[in-house]
A and B are shown apart, each in its own frame.
Chain A
Amino acid sequence: MDALHDLLMGFSVALAPGNLLYAFLGSAFGTLIGVLPGIGPAAGTALLIPLTARLDPTGAIIMLTAIFYGTQYGGTITSILLNVPGEAASAITCIDGHKMALKGRAGAALSIAAIGSFIGGLFATIALVFLAGPLTKLALEFGPVEFFALMILGISLMMGLAGKSMVKALMMGILGLLLAMVGMDPVRGAPRFTFGKMELMDGLNFVPVIMGLFGLSDILENAEESLDSTKSAKVGSLIPSREEVKDSVGPIARGSLMGTILGLIPGMTGSMASFLSYSTEKKISKHPERFGEGAVEGVAGPETANNAHANGALIPLFTLGIPASPTVAVLMGAFLMNGLIPGPFLFRENPQLVWGVIASFFIGNVILLILNLPLVGVWVKMLKIPYSILFAVILAFMVIGAYGVENSVFDVFIMLLFGVLGYLFKKFDFPMAPMILTLILGPTMERSLRRSMEMSQGDFSILFASPIAAGLLIASLIVLITSALRVFPGTRKKATSGSGSDRK
């Protein structure tokens, strides 16, 4: 009952007019980012961080989290109408969603997707409310040793699930950790890899890095093709038929559960959740032949799962301080920029903020349902903007976003540098998720390990002295070994080729 009491207190914060406005703005921006094919959730969320510079921390986090889960709603619209996913987690929706649109059922597909997204988002948020207490209680038992081991497990999962090549995933994870070393050393304050640049003393700013890796690299990749835009299908009636509603109930229920559970696991992306939901629905369907021909289950399941995943992925961030995906890592960065360290202590030290933000998820999801159903026409109009204009405007915002974090031209350069690197990483099929995770977790990880070492006077056996830490480290090892075994037989053949990315 404590959880409900805390949640009610949270609602009193979230329902304040200012915070309602931020939830609305965040939801609208999130939908917009989801709708625009040129920009994904990680870069989009990073891009809008400067907008929150003047807000109080509660308002800033409410807005940024709403942007994050709002992108999951918006991505559906382009998948269904254009057959182009607005973001990766909605890619699978193209298959049946666009087929429904071609049959004149685009409105119904959009409605089912929005309702599924709403239910999925609510389900995961309810899970967060009830898991927050037990998980934070557990995490409060953790010392630096256990936290270090937990972060290792998170990173191992991310690497294990990141791509086809374990070697590449490990390389990217280590590269992220090395980049996290830039700046003052967290224990002694000694400068490392700063090349005498004052701008690097506080470390590499993650906002321009993410905007480069996930945003600019996408624009560069798209520039390989001509900048023409595609034609949108007509929306038609938004009301689904009774049959369509009946067929969607099961997929929505399963998608909610599946997405929430997968959201808890670092490395499981929204795309994986939607893909798994799609394949499950197809497998258990009495008429699997309908899939690919405009089956409503192929829209309801994945769209619910990716939203449940988005909200579910906030559970490990809020309770343990572990980001489960690149976009959540961006959110973690936003917490840190506001002087807040996500994790169990935040619940104890700043309950108003945490519960206010959690309560805002309920409000945000209601706003998103309204924005995506009756107001779908507004977003459809946005799709009429040709990409030849859109890419230039996105670039302008990226320059401002990168500059605005620290008011530094150097950060715009960092964005450009990482944009080119991101483009090359994609070409070589290097997964970028492990790099972002380690870049953001790096300083905390190093601090935890070095504190542990100080406690043991430099004796590494302390890492295995605590049963929890030992268990987590062994689990990490098992994850890495099983992933390596799964991957190695194929890597020789695939070393120089391969496709697919988990960039969002």
Chain B
Amino acid sequence: MRRASLAAGIVFLVFSLIVMVASWSMEYYSSIGPGPGFFPFWLSLALGLLSIAWIVQILRSAPKSGNKSGKGKEEERFLPRGTALLRLLSIVGALCFMIILMEPLGFQLSMFAFMIFLLVVLGRVKILTTLIIAAGSSFGLFQVFTMLLDVQLPHAAIPFLAGIGL
């Protein structure tokens, strides 16, 4: 956890430096007062200083006690392991795929596949229930949102799929 916190502190610091550099290319001050670069510059400077303060706090904090019984056993794990981590990554990965496929395949097909994956692989839901819920969440919600609520969910970009209403 301590190492992860340090890494996060460094990420914040690097982020603030990037923003600061980017804000230099914007107008800092004009005759009528602060320009577009004024706020980002001072904010990134403040964020950078706070990141350093946080890093210093972490470095000055004693490593977790519990060293009596060997190293790090007591230390809180930053990320889960095993199946828990797998479940976590599966959700993120499935969402990534869904986002990538949403435009070529359209909302209905990509959401259908997404739901099948979540329900069968992660939820271990029975296949018939899965099919009903997946169809409702994809084809059903598509109709509700486009017809009743005026939210235009994407149709497939592939002409064949678009031709059959997907």
- A residues engaging B (CB < 8 A)? 50-51, 53-54, 165, 167-168, 170-171, 174-175, 177-178, 181, 185, 187-188, 190, 192-193, 219-220, 223-225, 227, 386, 388-389, 391-393, 395-397, 399-400, 403-404, 407, 409, 412-413, 416, 419-420, 424, 427-428, 446, 449-450, 453-454, 456-458, 491-497
Q: How many A-B residue pairs have CB under 8 A?
A: 186
Of all A-B residue pairs in the complex, the 4 with the closest CB atoms, nearest first, are: A453-B33, A388-B123, A185-B36, A392-B118
Chain A's nearest CB lies how many Å from the CB of B87? 4
Q: Is there an interface contact between A167 and B57, defined as CB atoms closer than 8 Å?
A: yes
Q: Interface code B62-94, partner A: CB below 8 Å = 1, 0 otherwise?
A: 101000000000001011100010011001100
Contact of A495 among B39, B57, B125, B149 (CB under 8 A): B57
Question: Can you pick out 25 interface pairs between chain A and chain B where the beta carbons lie within 8 Å of each other?
Answer: A53-B149, A53-B150, A54-B149, A54-B150, A167-B57, A171-B54, A174-B47, A193-B40, A223-B91, A389-B125, A392-B118, A393-B133, A396-B114, A396-B138, A400-B141, A400-B151, A403-B153, A404-B151, A412-B95, A428-B5, A454-B32, A458-B29, A491-B57, A496-B64, A497-B76
B58 at the A interface (CB under 8 A):
yes
| Nearest residue, chain A, Cβ from B137 | A396
C-alpha spacing A412/B107, complex, angstroms: 12
Q: Is there an interface contact between B61 and A492, defined as CB atoms closer than 8 Å?
A: yes
C-alpha spacing A167/B55, complex, angstroms: 10
C-alpha spacing A223/B114, complex, angstroms: 16
B161 at the A interface (CB under 8 A):
no
Q: Is there an interface contact between B124 and A167, defined as CB atoms closer than 8 Å?
A: no
Known A-B contacts A224-B87, A492-B60; A396 and B115 likewise in contact (beta carbons under 8 Å): yes
Q: Is there an interface contact between B33 and A457, defined as CB atoms closer than 8 Å?
A: yes
Chain A's nearest CB lies how many Å from the CB of B149? 6
Q: Is there an interface contact between B119 and A389, defined as CB atoms closer than 8 Å?
A: yes
B162 at the A interface (CB under 8 A):
no
Q: Which A residues lie within 8 Å of B107 (CB)?
A: 403
Q: Which A residues lie within 8 Å of B123 (CB)?
A: 227, 386, 388-389, 391-392
Known A-B contacts A224-B80, A388-B119, A413-B99; A178 and B19 likewise in contact (beta carbons under 8 Å): yes
Q: Which A residues lie within 8 Å of B26 (CB)?
A: 185, 190, 192
C-alpha spacing A428/B76, complex, angstroms: 11
C-alpha spacing A263/B151, complex, angstroms: 34
Q: Is there an interface contact between A177 and B39, defined as CB atoms closer than 8 Å?
A: yes
C-alpha spacing A493/B119, complex, angstroms: 42
Q: Is there an interface contact between B39 and A388, defined as CB atoms closer than 8 Å?
A: no
Q: Is there an interface contact between B118 and A391, defined as CB atoms closer than 8 Å?
A: yes
